[in-house]
Amino acid sequence: MLLQVTAQNYKKSGYYLKGHTVIVVDVLRATSSIIWACRNGATKVIPAADPGEGASMAARMGGCLLAGERDGLKLPGFDLGNSPSEFTRDTVQGKTIVISTTNGTGAIRNMESAGNLLIGGMLNRTAVAKRAVELGNDIIIACAGTEGEFSADDILAAGCIASAIVSLTELDEQCDLTIVSRLVYESWKKGSMDIAATHHYRHLVEMGFIEDARFCLQEDVTDVVPVYNNGMIQPMA
């Protein structure tokens, strides 16, 4: 089994992705919010390419919640932003959510031709690692990054999931960024990497979302693994 980590905006042919299990990670905050929505009983989460597509999908379907952000803030007219704290059981149980975020939902859509597409974060690190290993294909951990750039928070989360994968199975090969992401994770665990100094974390703090940043960086809070199939994400049965 080959384990790859990609930094941002990963593009590969559908033919290549079909043979792979892809775990999309946007730890601050889109994939963490989606994991949390599924954990709290949302029946479906539909990632939209942009806010306009999200709004028209939600209008067409009726009865769903429209969520998303730009520059971290809830979009005008939307029901919810992109804070995991908004995706409570009271709000989302039994609901379909349509969501558009700056980087995370686009990264999910970019990977939609993968053989298996899982939604990962630190919140579900062991569960998503186990599921990916069980599927038996080569694995790509696809980081969303921030506006086309590498983002240290995603590399940390990728390393966190990659380390769980390595503890579950013997790999034939791992790419250089897998090795680097695992080192980032190990140094964060030892307290020698200050994630609070990194760009997206600082941006969230400036926007008043420090609790979200702390929440999303917790490990193994849930076993729920959201799975993308045919345009929608559902918690794995």
Q: How far is the CB of 42 from ligand MLT (least distance, A)?
A: 17
Contact yes or no for 38/222 (Cβ under 8 A)? no
Q: Min. distance of Cβ 32 from ligand MLT in angstroms?
A: 8
Q: How far apart are CA 43 and CA 41, in angstroms?
A: 6
Total residue length of the chain: 237
Nearer to ligand MLT, 136 or 231 (CB): 231
Distances (CA, A) of 110 to 68, 150, 227: 18, 16, 15
CA contacts within 13 A on the Cβ side of 164:
25
> How many chain residues are in contact with ligand MLT, going by CB under 6 A?
12
The correct pick among 7, 17, 24, 30 for binding ligand MLT (CB under 6 A) is 30
Asked whether 178 and 162 are in contact (CB, 8 A), the reply is yes
- Applying CB under 6 A, does 151 fall inside the site for ligand MLT? no
Q: Does 154 bind ligand MLT (CB under 6 A)?
A: no
Of 177-236, binders to ligand MLT (CB under 6 A) are 204
103 lies in the binding site for ligand MLT (CB under 6 A): yes
Stretch of 4-12, 48-56, 97-105, 159-167 lying at the interface with ligand MLT (CB under 6 A): 97-105
Is residue 102 a contact point for ligand MLT (CB under 6 A)? yes
Q: CA 40, CA 94: separation in Å to the nearest integer?
A: 9
65 binds ligand MLT (CB under 6 A): no
29 binds ligand MLT (CB under 6 A): yes
- Which strands form 116-120's sheet, in the order they lie side by side? 73-74, 65-70, 96-100, 44-47, 232-235, 226-229, 116-120, 20-25, 138-143, 2-6, 173-174
Contact call for residues 1 and 56 (beta carbons, < 8 A): no
Q: Tell me which stretch binds ligand MLT (CB under 6 A): 7-15, 25-33, 58-66, 171-179.
A: 25-33
CB of 235 to ligand MLT, least distance (A): 19
Nearest to 217 by CA among 84, 27, 6: 27
Residue 10 beta carbon to ligand MLT: minimum distance, rounded to whole angstroms: 15
Give residues in contact with ligand MLT (CB under 6 A).
26, 28-30, 69, 72, 82, 101-104, 204
